Structure 1
Amino acid sequence: MAWKVTAADSAIVLIDHGIGFANLFRSHTVAENVNGVVALARIARIYGVPLIVTSGPDNSPVGPLYPQLAAVLGDHPVVLRSGAFDAFEEEAFTRAIEATGRQRLVMAGLMTEGCLLHTALGAVEQGYEVRAVLDASACVTTETHELAVRRMTQAGVIPTSWLSVAAEYQVTWANAETADGFRDLVGGHSPTFAMQGAMQANIERHAAS
């Protein structure tokens, strides 16, 4: 197993990030979850990574996608499911994944112990290598989130974060084509890194004066 993913060998999968779940999970705040999933969608755009978004119909309990996510996606297609917790149980989703030609999947979803867990396990069973982006996923309680993560890791799923994924894709600041996108991403979604960048800019400004 290769421990690092690249933009050339992976696809990003977003599962059920709908407003109907926002009232249910407590393992993370809504703001944290929105921040993480929007960051992942932006990562797919910055690095040209295939992006598969799946959810239920807007009139289902999941509801429409987070408005912030929908704004980033624009007219990007959403693979609608009829209710399967393991998205691989539905042909349209399986076809969409196969069409990417990628065997390494970077997944996030709601709820962690529901559709993310079952879809990740389904992917492993079908021979895919899976990363679960845990700060773009959430669960009813912290305990159930952690239990689902434990079950996934026991099956071979690798836990990660959106920033780890972005850093693996970027590799180095020397990759100038995507460096500005990476900088904007981190500055917009990680306040601590944004402050660090501002501090460094301040130091350089005073050093030059």
Structure 2
Amino acid sequence: MDLYNRLDKNNAAVLMVDHQTGLISGFVRDFGVDEYQQNVEAMVDIANYFKLPTVLSTSMESGPNGPLMSYISENLPNAPKIERPGEINAWDNPDFVKAVEDTQKKQLIISGVVTDVCVAFVALSAINAGYEVFVVAGASGSYEDKIARDALNRMTSAGVQVMSWFSVASELHRDWRNDVEGFGQLVQSHFPAYKNVVTSFNAKN
């Protein structure tokens, strides 16, 4: 059995679960607002850059949980969005499961709010359903650092691979030479420190 199962851009789909403005405002405490938003936006741009099929879901969107982050809605306009009327675990919603199945991908890259509920429940359910699951910790938020760590440990114990958006992008891309400028722009857009490095390098040449 291989211990290193790499993400494959030809076999991966992105699931973004409950990145809703009300939930983010009320529950995301393990990241600063700007950092968290940057991480989520990076996942949106990764989905577009690699042309990954993406499934969105919201929970009781008309209530205090609120709508999806505008960046998601504006930049993934064609992604199916499953508006759950009440199911806490999105995997309990048949329309959500069908949308995932319709991607015909076996690797699922998941992020959401909150880490210990919306993300963990979907990730564990997908593992049970036979998928390879990769959770993006930085684009998933919770109300307490320890709660988030415990949830990530729970998922890891079940076979989920926990990654950052940068490791997801790098593993999908494999080789800078595949598109130096495009991949470089993707990284720069969400890594201000790297943008500074590139600016400094360009100034010398």
Same fold (TM over 0.5): yes
8 Å CA contact 1:15–1:108 kept in 2: the answer is yes
Cα root mean square deviation, aligned: 1.4
Instruction: Name whichever of 30-39 and 152-161 sits farther off.
Output: 30-39
Report what 1:169 is aligned to.
172
The code of the aligned residue for 2:200 comes to M
The code of the aligned residue for 2:172 comes to Y
2:15 aligned with 1:13, yes or no? yes
Report what 1:190 is aligned to.
191
CA distance in 2, matches of 1:61, 1:77: 22
TM-score by length of structure 2 reads 0.93
8 Å CA contact 2:30–2:143 kept in 1: the answer is yes
Runs of 4+ in structure 1 displaced over 4 angstroms? none
Deviations 1:86-118, CA, capped at 9 Å, x for gaps: 211110001001001111101001000111010
TM-score by length of structure 1 reads 0.91
Report what 2:119 is aligned to.
116
- Listed as ranges, the gaps of 5+ residues in structure 1 are none
CA distance in 1, matches of 2:65, 2:50: 29
CA distance in 1, matches of 2:35, 2:101: 30
1:194 CA drift (Å): 0.9
2:205 aligned with 1:199, yes or no? no
CA distance in 1, matches of 2:58, 2:50: 23
Report what 1:104 is aligned to.
107
The code of the aligned residue for 2:131 comes to Y
1:202 CA drift (Å): 2.1
Q: Which secondary structure state, in structure 2, belongs to the residue aligned with residue 138 of structure 1?
A: coil
For the pair shown, which has the larger CA radius of gyration, 1 or 2? 1
Change (3 A) 1:58 1:35: same
Identity %: 30
CA distance in 2, matches of 1:123, 1:75: 23
Instruction: Name whichever of 51-60 and 148-157 sits farther off.
Output: 51-60
- Listed as ranges, the gaps of 5+ residues in structure 2 are none
Report what 2:82 is aligned to.
79
1:138 CA drift (Å): 0.6
CA distance in 2, matches of 1:88, 1:67: 24
Q: Which secondary structure state, in structure 1, belongs to the residue aligned with residue 177 of structure 2?
A: coil
1:75 CA drift (Å): 4.5
1:36 CA drift (Å): 1.2
Q: Which secondary structure state, in structure 2, belongs to the residue aligned with residue 39 of structure 1?
A: helix
Out of 56, 62, 81, the residue aligned to residue 65 of structure 2 is 62
Report what 1:140 is aligned to.
143
